[in-house]
Chains A and B, each alone.
Chain A
Amino acid sequence: MSGVQSDESKRSTVSQSLPAQAVVERVLELSRASDCMVLVNENSTANLRWAGNSLTTNGVTRSREVTVISLVEGDKGTSVGAVSRSGLRDDQLAELVTASEEAARQAPAAEEARPLLAPEAAATATAAWDGAPASTDIGVFSGFAPALGGAFERSGAAGTQLYGYAEHTMASTFFGSSTGVRLRHDQPTGTVELNAKSADPAHSTWVGRATRDFADVDVAALEAELSRRIGWARNRVDLPAGRYETLLPPEAVADMMVNLYWNMGARDSFEGRTAFSASRGGTRVGERLAKLPLTLRSDPAEPGLECEPFVLADAPGRRISAFDNGLPISGAKWISDGELSRLVQTHDSAVLTALPLTPHTGNLILEEPKATASLEEMIAGTERGLLVTCLWYIRSVDPRTMLLTGLTRDGVYLVEDGEVRGAVNNFRFNESPVGLLQRATEVGRTVPALSRELGDYFSRTAMPPLRIPDFNMSTVSQAS
């Protein structure tokens, strides 16, 4: 006998039997709006989380979200209504379409409204329209989990505690419009983070990687890097706040550059709201931002960092807009040879700013093509400076200068005469990524790098190490 009383056991239950493609077609058939777009996102995830050399939580999920975007013509222009639902039954699609159309009728005309793309203007799908959604499950960790178990055993024997998280997601997105566009994209995303805390020496250090399928995750290599850093911590050096020559490894650079990228909206910049706004109006496109010939770019076809090559948005917006859905993305050089060259655009903002239409892209690469130095070689070339492996709790302080505050975490080291001498206390920093690009004096070789703080949301990044001559450590943090 169940502990739950059942007075509804005879109630008919409900199902989701229509495949995603059929949902797209059904929604478009049901639509009575002037135009209609529909996105069906089929997501599956698997995750493992651990602490103190033991698994703590885990899970698998599978979900479908249907978004209907209705465009309704009125006296004052086109209004739009976007409604998303998950857990939707097949027999509720009509209700969802009606809700979207009602939202559009209630909304004022959208200033950025524009005709939807025709198939000939839209991108090419990256996956065959037909066929079941790509999916993942707990089996994706079949090789990783035993390796992790081995790491737990070795860490326990060494007096080290491992903490961390691994997640794998498969997202299949099906897009259809009343103008005849049909696009599908399957996106795998995976991350693994490993944090080691040792008692002797007392130290905490972190490594993280992005992966598409976990087949390339080398737990032993991650363990080795953690051990190397714990070894660096045998000496402890207390340093005061101040400006230090600082080596930022690729992961820390990713934290700062993703923040910068998220502030590259063209409309906001044109309106005077960002560090890329010109003081006399307009944007700073064309201005030199970096002394070094750095390039910050995005490319949906970047090997290992592949992402959707067309716009997929579930609502209108300033930075990415559903009115651009299906628009091809070929990537952009946001900063080219040190000069600000592009901003993140919607079709509407591109008209406003009279700049090329370069939509938001789901990856980010910072590079100096001629740079070859590894982080190790840059350490070897350092007379005295800090090696700051992780940044954390980064928040905007002043949007106009893009001043950010945050903390160092899980590994600050003193480098002297080309060698790591010991672990240093943590600091609070106040720095601007724009300022870092301006002041960087050396750049190394670009490698895939997972942002510690933002990797959960934006994991497809490749960054170089940077040397900053005067990184602003505002105060000492007692955290260890």
Chain B
Amino acid sequence: MREIDHEFLSLPLRALADAALQRARDLGADHADFRLERIRGQRLVLADGSVESSGETDSLGFAVRVVHNGTWGFAAGTELTTDAAAAVAAQAIDVAKVASVISTERIELAAEPAHRDATWVSSYEIDPFTVSVRDKTDLLAEWSRQLLADRRVSHVDAILLQAKEQKFYADTAGTTTTQQRVRLAPEVEIVSTSGGRLESMRTIAPPVGRGYEYVPTVAAELEELPELLAAKLAAPSVEPGDYDLVIDPSNLWLTIHESIGHATELDRALGYEAAYAGTSFATLDKLGSLRYGSPIMNVTGDRTVEHGLATVGYDDEGVATSSFELITDGILTGYQRDRRISHLTGHERSNGCAFADSPATMPIQRMANVSLAPDPRGPSTDELVRRVDNGIYVVGDRSWSIDMQRYNFQFTGQRFYQIRNGRITGQLRDVAYQASTTEFWNSMTALGGPETYVLGGAFNCGKGQPGQVAPVSHGCPSALFEKVRVLNTAQEAGA
């Protein structure tokens, strides 16, 4: 296992925590936690092989969160002195006092054993911030030049996002955790504008919690991209109607994210996100009885899987992470929770789903890696295709949208292959699929085997006010869905 960078460990982590927590105690806090973070980000964007944008961010700061007389107070600062840490703690208490005037719900947190001096580092080989910008841009530029050499390609966009997150957490119960993780998202998209038409084709390699060693693997997809784009340009426009869909993990992860991941966040189900992100049809009264999907459907929340984007040792409330059931044999059996929501709903412990996206934001309940289990003896993707008479094989994600209670969704993709009598006959254009969540998951009649399983994901899941973004992965196999509504997007636009 890699070690936490000395540069981070050399910061006055414990001195600042001591100062802040002691001041909070002195001012009467029932609970206080201190979180100091350094988050580095690097974003490289190349357009047609030239660097369009290259920027680095490096955020260092700390936050103090208190519960004072049953009310939250939160404040954040950046000056790394013990005086400043104590002052921010006092500010958090002041905020709690102001807030108490309009707070009617008493804040209490589910208990968590103290984790003293715990450390955790994610699984990676090469820290992306040790690789020079020149090496990275040279690689992306070379990929771009290769693709631009194909006359069918008008433009190439290449993007590499990288992040390194270091967090120190301490609370008045005695927990002290120090953690470090890295993640990156490489993406290459080619565009054709020939003949006044616009089409694009993008790599489907997912963002991952890995090191730079992952980036070169994307090259394996590049060679076929121009042909895939040309086939898409030549493809017939889809006839709208009901189709059987074989959905590849490169597309299905996003459907899981929107229709299961967010729907099983208990803060949403209880209404705490009602004004913004929304609520959930999967309300608490349906726990244990809601037929979410067909009996072959088993979904877990997990913050421990290797290379997962939401994977971490301890969450931002000092809770040791775990894996837990959300949907079992098609029935809703669990939720994602943080400490406040866990206490509110009678759970002894949180299942570790608190996350803050910066030193200046308050932890909120965020998504674990929510994943659909494969059928241990399930078929290959080809075998799933052979089972379909009239359908579409969906690959890669693109457009997504779902309503605020997570019922009605619409997704597009990178490429859609027509299936006739068990065989792929070519691509289709202008495809979107649209369904209602439980109707869709109950139409799932077959799951692919473990060899079809891929851990997909996103860097930028948004939630909360002030808005926060979180990285999250979703694993799934290929899967077969029967009679899903397919739209023609050109017709929807009035063509």
Query: A149 and B18: CB pair below 8 A?
Result: no
Stretch from A125-133, A172-180, A270-278, A460-468 that touches the partner: A270-278
Assembled-state Cα–Cα distance A6/B176 (Å): 11
Query: A395 and B400: CB pair below 8 A?
Result: yes
Contacts of A193 in B (CB 8 A): 275-276
Query: A58 and B72: CB pair below 8 A?
Result: yes
User: Please, what's the 1-or-0 string for A1-45, where 1 marks a CB less than 8 Å from any CB in chain B?
Assistant: 011111111011111100000000000000000000000000001
Find residues 81-106 in chain A having any chain B CB closer than 8 Å to their own CB.
81-89, 99, 103, 106
Query: A8 and B198: CB pair below 8 A?
Result: no
Closest chain A CB from B335 CB (angstroms): 17
Contact partner of B404 (CB less than 8 A), chosen from A47, A107, A392, A405, is: A392
Contacts of B224 in A (CB 8 A): none
**B56 at the A/B interface (Cβ < 8 Å)?**
yes
Assembled-state Cα–Cα distance A149/B103 (Å): 9
Query: B404 and A106: CB pair below 8 A?
Result: no
Contacts of B278 in A (CB 8 A): 392, 479
Query: A63 and B81: CB pair below 8 A?
Result: no
Query: A14 and B465: CB pair below 8 A?
Result: no
Find residues 70-88 in chain A having any chain B CB closer than 8 Å to their own CB.
79-88
Contacts of B174 in A (CB 8 A): 3-4
Closest chain A CB from B97 CB (angstroms): 9
Closest chain B CB from A399 CB (angstroms): 6
**B348 at the A/B interface (Cβ < 8 Å)?**
no
Assembled-state Cα–Cα distance A271/B137 (Å): 23
Assembled-state Cα–Cα distance A58/B16 (Å): 22
Supposing A55-B102, A145-B102 touch, asked if A393 and B80 sit within 8 A by C-beta, the answer is: no
Query: B274 and A58: CB pair below 8 A?
Result: no
Closest chain B CB from A253 CB (angstroms): 19
**A401 at the A/B interface (Cβ < 8 Å)?**
yes
Query: B170 and A49: CB pair below 8 A?
Result: no
**A316 at the A/B interface (Cβ < 8 Å)?**
yes
Closest chain B CB from A28 CB (angstroms): 19
Contacts of B403 in A (CB 8 A): 392-393, 407, 409, 426, 428, 477-479
Find residues 259-276 in chain B having any chain A CB closer than 8 Å to their own CB.
271-276
Tell me the count of chain B residues lying within 8 A, CB to CB, of chain A. Answer: 113
User: Please, what's the 1-or-0 string for A162-194, where 1 marks a CB less than 8 Å from any CB in chain B?
Assistant: 011101000000000000000000000000011
Query: B362 and A428: CB pair below 8 A?
Result: no
Contact partner of B61 (CB less than 8 A), chosen from A63, A141, A164, A399, is: A63
Query: B137 and A107: CB pair below 8 A?
Result: yes
Query: B405 and A479: CB pair below 8 A?
Result: yes
Assembled-state Cα–Cα distance A206/B434 (Å): 26
**B76 at the A/B interface (Cβ < 8 Å)?**
yes
Contacts of A280 in B (CB 8 A): 196
**B360 at the A/B interface (Cβ < 8 Å)?**
yes
Closest chain A CB from B199 CB (angstroms): 9
Contacts of A148 in B (CB 8 A): 102
Contacts of B57 in A (CB 8 A): 83-86
Give the one of B73, B98, B197 with max A CB within 10 A.
B98
Assembled-state Cα–Cα distance A239/B72 (Å): 43
Query: A146 and B101: CB pair below 8 A?
Result: yes
Give the one of A3, A54, A138, A406 with max B CB within 10 A.
A3
Supposing A84-B57, A152-B104, A432-B493 touch, asked if A409 and B404 sit within 8 A by C-beta, the answer is: yes
Contact partner of B193 (CB less than 8 A), chosen from A64, A272, A432, is: A272
Query: B80 and A99: CB pair below 8 A?
Result: no
**B126 at the A/B interface (Cβ < 8 Å)?**
no
Contacts of A55 in B (CB 8 A): 71-72, 99, 102-103
Query: B399 and A405: CB pair below 8 A?
Result: yes
Contacts of B105 in A (CB 8 A): 52, 54, 56
Contact partner of B53 (CB less than 8 A), chosen from A15, A45, A315, A480, is: A315
Find residues 278-314 in chain A having any chain B CB closer than 8 Å to their own CB.
279-280, 314
Find residues 87-101 in chain B having any chain A CB closer than 8 Å to their own CB.
91, 94-96, 98-99, 101
User: Please, what's the 1-or-0 string for A199-222, where 1 marks a CB less than 8 Å from any CB in chain B?
Assistant: 000001010000000000000000
Assembled-state Cα–Cα distance A397/B101 (Å): 45
Assign chain A's interface to a size class. 35 or more
Closest chain A CB from B9 CB (angstroms): 10
Contacts of B173 in A (CB 8 A): 3
Assembled-state Cα–Cα distance A55/B58 (Å): 32
Supposing A397-B489, A475-B408 touch, asked if A110 and B276 sit within 8 A by C-beta, the answer is: no
Query: A61 and B75: CB pair below 8 A?
Result: yes
Closest chain B CB from A57 CB (angstroms): 6
**B17 at the A/B interface (Cβ < 8 Å)?**
yes
Contact partner of A86 (CB less than 8 A), chosen from B34, B59, B91, B490, is: B59
Contacts of B401 in A (CB 8 A): 393-395, 405-407, 428
Assembled-state Cα–Cα distance A166/B84 (Å): 26
**B494 at the A/B interface (Cβ < 8 Å)?**
yes
Query: A138 and B72: CB pair below 8 A?
Result: no
Query: B82 and A13: CB pair below 8 A?
Result: yes
Contact partner of B54 (CB less than 8 A), chosen from A7, A51, A315, is: A315
Closest chain A CB from B27 CB (angstroms): 14
Assembled-state Cα–Cα distance A472/B490 (Å): 13
Contacts of B73 in A (CB 8 A): 58
A84-B56, A477-B403, A479-B403 given. 15 additional CB < 8 A pairs? A2-B18, A6-B15, A13-B83, A14-B81, A15-B84, A54-B104, A54-B105, A55-B103, A56-B272, A59-B74, A152-B104, A316-B52, A397-B412, A478-B281, A479-B278
**Could you list 28 A-B pairs, sorted by A, with CB under 8 Å?**
A5-B117, A6-B15, A8-B12, A47-B465, A51-B271, A51-B273, A55-B103, A58-B73, A58-B98, A58-B99, A60-B76, A62-B76, A62-B78, A81-B54, A85-B57, A87-B61, A106-B133, A107-B134, A152-B102, A206-B275, A314-B55, A393-B402, A393-B403, A393-B404, A395-B401, A396-B399, A405-B401, A474-B410
Query: Which residues of A are in contact with B by a Cβ distance under 8 Å?
Result: 2-9, 11-16, 45, 47-65, 79-89, 99, 103, 106-108, 110-111, 138, 141, 145-146, 148-149, 152, 161, 163-165, 167, 193-195, 197, 204, 206, 271-273, 277, 279-280, 314-318, 392-401, 403, 405-407, 409, 426, 428, 430, 432, 435, 456, 472, 474-480
Query: Which residues of B are in contact with A by a Cβ distance under 8 Å?
Result: 12-18, 21-22, 25, 34, 38, 45, 47, 50-61, 71-84, 91, 94-96, 98-99, 101-105, 114, 116-117, 132-134, 137, 141, 154-155, 170-176, 191, 193, 196-198, 271-276, 278, 281, 359-362, 364, 399-408, 410, 412, 430, 432, 434, 436, 465-467, 485, 487, 489-490, 492-495
**Minimum-distance CB pairs A-B, first 3:** A87-B60, A272-B193, A279-B196
